Amino acid sequence: ENDISSKLPLRGKHILITAGPTYEAIDPVRFIGNHSSGKMGFDIAKIAAQNGAKVILVTGPTHLFVDNALITLVRVKSAQEMYDACFSYFDIVDVTIAAAAVADYRPKKVAQQKIKKDDTTFIIELEKTKDILASLGKVKKNQFLVGFALETENEIEHAKLKIQKKNLDLIVLNSLNDKGAGFGHDTNKVTFIDKNFSIQPMDLKSKEEVAQDIINKIIQHYA
């Protein structure tokens, strides 16, 4: 092939990316969710595709969209739907990057009708959702597995525990401590920690630049 795209570093690689929040239903009109915009995952998908990878982007509810023919967008709502979608693609991918802010708990019972208010306190019983990334880590073969970690204390120690618990190759530790990082900002301060516990702190950057740094790690892995 003399096509220019054949020279792209991730040509022929399949990358699964999760993005956005998940919505866990309480009743037909209400849910438990979080403020994830999905931007980090969508930016990673864009940069991966620009480097020639075929991308499957599994996203929770977000207004973002994609316009690259190399990206297949799969829209889901709940953690269970995201789990099912990820498992249906995992066998055929080389790399998985879990950027979604998956709900850790969901209502144990979903009311079939809209819940009516009364004069008493309303308690919702919650049960744990499945950990998608940890479940993929249990069955992974050659897949390069990248997770995110959001911590507010003992950051490095907690992130290392997540690498081990989820059988990851790389974790992207997100710092909330620094001004202008985390939810609701377009900048992130991240630290890369690999499976050998080598630690690489990065500067405060735009999400798109962080996405480029993550994709560079993948490119290095295959170089």
- Binding residues for CTP are 104, 114, 148, 162, 166
Assess 95 for contact with ligand CTP (CB under 6 A): no
Taking the complex as a whole, the smallest distance from the CB of residue 129 to ligand CTP amounts, in Å, to 5
Phi, psi of 183 (to 5 degrees): -50, 140
> What is the closest distance, in whole angstroms, from the C-beta atom of residue 104 to Ca ion in the complex?
4
d(CA 47, CA 99): 14
DSSP characters over 135-190: HHHHH-SS-EEEEEEEESSSHHHHHHHHHHHHT-SEEEEEESSSTT-STT-SEE-E
Give CA–CA dist 180/134, Å, rounded. Answer: 29
- Residue from 75, 92, 104, 199 in contact with Ca ion (CB under 5 A): 104
Query: 149 is in the binding site of which of ligand CTP, Ca ion, none (Cβ under 5 to 8 A by kind)?
Result: ligand CTP
Of 12-20, 76-84, 99-107, 137-145, which part binds Ca ion (CB under 5 A)?
99-107
CB of 120 to Ca ion, least distance (A): 30
Q: Write out the residues near ligand CTP by the rule CB under 6 A.
A: 18, 79, 98, 100, 102, 104, 129, 131-133, 147-150, 162
Could you give the residue numbers annotated as active site?
34
